[in-house]
Amino acid sequence: MLGDLVALLAKDPNTTSAVATVASAIAAAFAVVVSVIAVYVSCVTLKHQRRHNELSVRPIPIVTVADFEDSIRVKVRNHGSGPMLIKKVSVSADDQVKHALTEWMPDLPKGMFWTNFVGPVTDRSLLPGGELVLLELSGDDAENLFCAARDATRKALAPLTVTVEYTDIYESDFKPYAKDLSWFARHNVGSNRPSPKRQSTGIDA
């Protein structure tokens, strides 16, 4: 049968030309199909690679608290594997929202100052493992004046919630991270019960 087809094509040049044209068209169509498949595979691969890159540099915010007898502290830390771009930090209680922990704090006794603090936090970046101290008060727990200020600060911190709005280097959308500071209210503020110095009553990781 193949021999008959070859003989027919040899006798009729028009048929030979038509067959060649059809074969060329089929080959061109096949090349187009292969190209489309290659483009599709490339797009899927690029999408998966981008997703992998995003996950490999994902920031993870956490608000940590430290509550010692001679020091109390609240800070934001990036526990992720990529830079964290902080869009805004807000502090709320009930229906009130303010922009810094210090705006909620009582006045310190004359001559006493915050060990560390920041005002409103916007458009700040934290590298992996980086941290930002929002508020810190340290002193000598043998001094009544410091103990009174420490306890008043604990009481002011306890009802608050810190919310961190953030993104990554790809400007991905993340749900805001919120941490309530109720840990500071777990013991009786002002108790005269003695405590070992530097006894940890909080978590600061």
pLDDT at residue 203 in the model? 57
Name the β-bridge partners of 188.
none
The rounded radius of gyration (Å) of the Cα atoms in the chain is 34
Task: Please say whether the beta carbons of 99 and 164 come within 8 A.
Answer: no
List all residues 6 or more positions away from 178 whose beta carbon is below 8 Å from its beta carbon. 161, 162, 163, 164
Give the mean pLDDT of the chain: 83
For residue 160, the model assigns a pLDDT of 97
pLDDT number for residue 33: 76
Whether 59 and 166 have beta carbons less than 8 Å apart is answered as yes
Encode pLDDT of 60-77 as tens digits. 999 999 999 999 999 999
Statement: residue 197 has pLDDT above 60 = no
Give the tens place of pLDDT for each residue, 157-192: 999 999 999 999 999 999 999 999 999 998 654 444
How distant, in Å, are the alpha carbons of 49, 60, 122, 164, 203 from that of 81? Answer: 17, 8, 21, 17, 22
Higher pLDDT, 198 or 25: 25
Q: Residue 89 above 70 pLDDT?
A: yes
